[in-house]
A and B are shown apart, each in its own frame.
Chain A
């Protein structure tokens, strides 16, 4: 059983007026429906929301165990205070910045619940061996929240699960420098065939909500979320996708609330121009498709970009004698 702890709320900056209780309530509801098993909540977020939405398992971040009584009813409490306290369901978060520090962690074996955060350089070592050490110290139910200084956090989160770890901590888009929720949940679906009930079509709405609350800019090729990740130009790929989408797509775009889009440009092939012409009600002969392709490629090279629909229509008319 793989379980994800989403810590996005702990990375937000409160007090600027853009974060409201309603938005936070919608956000935690959507992240939960997208596959998170727990939502980490801060006192600031809790104040704004007033309560935790029904049916959502939440972990409250506190400074120390004394604060636990102020927030009754949470599934767990998490703190960096490193207390061996009697408070039930109290997770001690331990920051580990270097793989060499793992050996020293055995002194914390008396702690009941542990969350290991950091270890961004773990992949540079024999990570499976080091993960096993952590599991020997603290058990498979230890939470692992890899940090992303080396762009390996998503991989480390998935490898933790591959090695038998059950709980990982993530944030949406990797906010705050952690593994990206959307990448990890999709990785779990694809690599481990788990989390079948996760509704990933909610990811675009989550992105909208986060964007309303905090300044985020997202590259069009950002894994899972980017606006251009299912836009295809290459002739080889379009041809393959038409015959069988699984040939060139790791998962159907609809899984994550997106659609495939075929565009034309320098790398298009005859298949693409035929599809685009057909959408406009024109069936092309081999000769005309080849001629049109040449014009599309030349225009794309001239303009240093893809071809717009309007430009394609003009080129199509040139080739077909204005009947398009």
Chain B
């Protein structure tokens, strides 16, 4: 039997962050319904802090889904998390920059501040009864021992698993595997892989991460996403299903892709 890996579809969140792409509430609900039907394990449905329209989409998705878990994305901000809690999602995902370039030049803070702020946000969501996952932003350029140390604390705070994000898309398969294996060896947490396609290696890096033990793999339909996009679900499934059980219904996945092509302004997807 092939080992199981779980698809997290982030078309409705990271995919929609592609410049110029906007889904209506109806689009989001329809796509989420089809994702649910084709066996996507988790749908990252959006960012509640964006506003009322986004919240409406998320709550409607929660109302119609049958099997998929519905997660929502948050900055490391109590205000963002409160917006999310209003939607009552299955999972509150908190993104945290972990590379030094992000911590020191973007946030203009230090590691100690970051750790305490993150744990405060996790505690806020956990104390309200929500499942929480944490996304390590720019993990591919971060100090691996810092991430391992954070993961141990997050485990103690009840975080389900951590997303390892290659935010700027510079990983190679070898480096991906090394990072995932190292974190799995030194922590007791499951890992989700989230890569970008800046060097044309999103599918390969996702595959290598899954081979190295990452349980969850982030994808988007047609690979849409920031800059050169994310890991393309269809392409990943074509190679990933050779060695993993991804839980996908191929016929229903085709229906999803056809519907997506209709919905998306396809000028970028010639």
Cβ 8 A contact of A154, one of B204, B223, B232, B267: B204
Question: 0/1 per residue, A290-314, Cβ < 8 Å to B?
Answer: 0000100100110111100000000
The segment from A58-66, A100-108, A246-254 found at the interface with B is A246-254
Contact present for B201 and A154 (CB under 8 Å): yes
Contact present for B22 and A304 (CB under 8 Å): yes
Contact present for A246 and B101 (CB under 8 Å): yes
**Smallest distance from the beta carbon of A276 to chain B beta carbons, Å?**
14
Interface assignment of B200: CB less than 8 Å from any CB of chain A: yes
**Smallest distance from the beta carbon of B180 to chain A beta carbons, Å?**
15
Residues of A within 8 A of B16 (CB): 266-267
Question: 0/1 per residue, B214-242, Cβ < 8 Å to A?
Answer: 00000000011111110010010011001
Contact present for B242 and A121 (CB under 8 Å): yes
Q: A217-B270, A266-B50 are in contact. Are A234 and B172 (CB under 8 A)?
A: no
Q: How far is the CA of A294 from the CA of B23 in the complex (A)?
A: 17
A96-146: which residues lie under 8 A (CB-CB) from chain B?
A: 121, 123-124, 127-128
Across the two chains, which residue of chain A brings its CB closest to B102? A247
Contact present for A248 and B201 (CB under 8 Å): no
Contact present for B170 and A265 (CB under 8 Å): no
Q: A233-B17, A244-B106, A305-B22 are in contact. Are A183 and B200 (CB under 8 A)?
A: yes
Contact present for A187 and B207 (CB under 8 Å): no
**Smallest distance from the beta carbon of A106 to chain B beta carbons, Å?**
26
Q: How far is the CA of A247 from the CA of B100 in the complex (A)?
A: 9
The segment from A48-56, A72-80, A87-95, A224-232 found at the interface with B is A224-232
**Smallest distance from the beta carbon of B240 to chain A beta carbons, Å?**
9
Residues of A within 8 A of B53 (CB): 301
Most buried by B among A191, A239, A267, A294: A267
B160-209: which residues lie under 8 A (CB-CB) from chain A?
A: 167-170, 172-175, 197-201, 203-205, 207-208
Interface assignment of A222: CB less than 8 Å from any CB of chain B: yes
Contact present for A250 and B199 (CB under 8 Å): yes
Q: How far is the CA of A222 from the CA of B232 in the complex (A)?
A: 12
Contact present for A218 and B270 (CB under 8 Å): yes
Residues of A within 8 A of B225 (CB): 221
Across the two chains, which residue of chain A brings its CB closest to B205? A155
Contact present for A263 and B20 (CB under 8 Å): yes
Interface assignment of A240: CB less than 8 Å from any CB of chain B: yes
Interface assignment of A180: CB less than 8 Å from any CB of chain B: yes
Interface assignment of B252: CB less than 8 Å from any CB of chain A: no
Contact present for B106 and A243 (CB under 8 Å): yes
Residues of A within 8 A of B17 (CB): 233-234, 237, 267
Contact present for B19 and A228 (CB under 8 Å): yes
Contact present for A158 and B201 (CB under 8 Å): yes
Across the two chains, which residue of chain B brings its CB closest to A306? B20
Interface assignment of B37: CB less than 8 Å from any CB of chain A: no
**A contacts with B, residue count (CB < 8 A):** 61
Q: How far is the CA of A249 from the CA of B223 in the complex (A)?
A: 18
Residues of B within 8 A of A209 (CB): none
Interface assignment of B152: CB less than 8 Å from any CB of chain A: no
Q: A154-B200, A221-B268, A248-B168 are in contact. Are A263 and B106 (CB under 8 A)?
A: no
Interface assignment of A220: CB less than 8 Å from any CB of chain B: yes
Contact present for B208 and A123 (CB under 8 Å): yes
**Smallest distance from the beta carbon of B24 to chain A beta carbons, Å?**
6
Contact present for B22 and A301 (CB under 8 Å): yes
Contact present for B270 and A305 (CB under 8 Å): no
**Smallest distance from the beta carbon of B188 to chain A beta carbons, Å?**
26
Most buried by A among B20, B138, B229: B20
A265-288: which residues lie under 8 A (CB-CB) from chain B?
A: 265-267
Interface assignment of B254: CB less than 8 Å from any CB of chain A: no
Residues of B within 8 A of A85 (CB): none
Interface assignment of A200: CB less than 8 Å from any CB of chain B: no
Interface assignment of A19: CB less than 8 Å from any CB of chain B: no
**Smallest distance from the beta carbon of A36 to chain B beta carbons, Å?**
17
Contact present for A123 and B19 (CB under 8 Å): no
Interface assignment of A318: CB less than 8 Å from any CB of chain B: no
**Smallest distance from the beta carbon of B53 to chain A beta carbons, Å?**
5
Q: How far is the CA of A297 from the CA of B54 in the complex (A)?
A: 11
Q: How far is the CA of A246 from the CA of B235 in the complex (A)?
A: 29
Interface assignment of B59: CB less than 8 Å from any CB of chain A: no
Contact present for B229 and A221 (CB under 8 Å): yes
Q: How far is the CA of A243 from the CA of B200 in the complex (A)?
A: 27
Contact present for B203 and A150 (CB under 8 Å): yes
Q: A244-B105, A305-B265 are in contact. Are A151 and B18 (CB under 8 A)?
A: no
Residues of A within 8 A of B167 (CB): 248
Across the two chains, which residue of chain A brings its CB closest to B168? A250
Return the 4 tightest CB-CB contacts between A and B, nearest first: A155-B204, A183-B200, A233-B19, A244-B105
Q: List 23 A-B contacts (CB under 8 A).
A: A151-B203, A151-B238, A154-B199, A154-B204, A158-B201, A180-B200, A186-B199, A187-B172, A190-B199, A191-B172, A217-B270, A219-B268, A219-B269, A224-B198, A224-B228, A226-B228, A233-B20, A237-B17, A250-B168, A250-B169, A267-B17, A301-B22, A301-B24
- The chain A residues found within 8 Å of chain B, CB to CB, are 121, 123-124, 127-128, 150-152, 154-156, 158-159, 162, 174, 180, 183, 186-187, 190-191, 217-224, 226, 228-234, 236-237, 239-240, 243-244, 246-251, 263, 265-267, 294, 297, 300-301, 303-306
- Beyond A151-B239, A247-B105, 7 extra complex contacts between A and B, CB < 8 Å: A159-B173, A187-B199, A217-B270, A228-B268, A237-B226, A244-B105, A306-B22
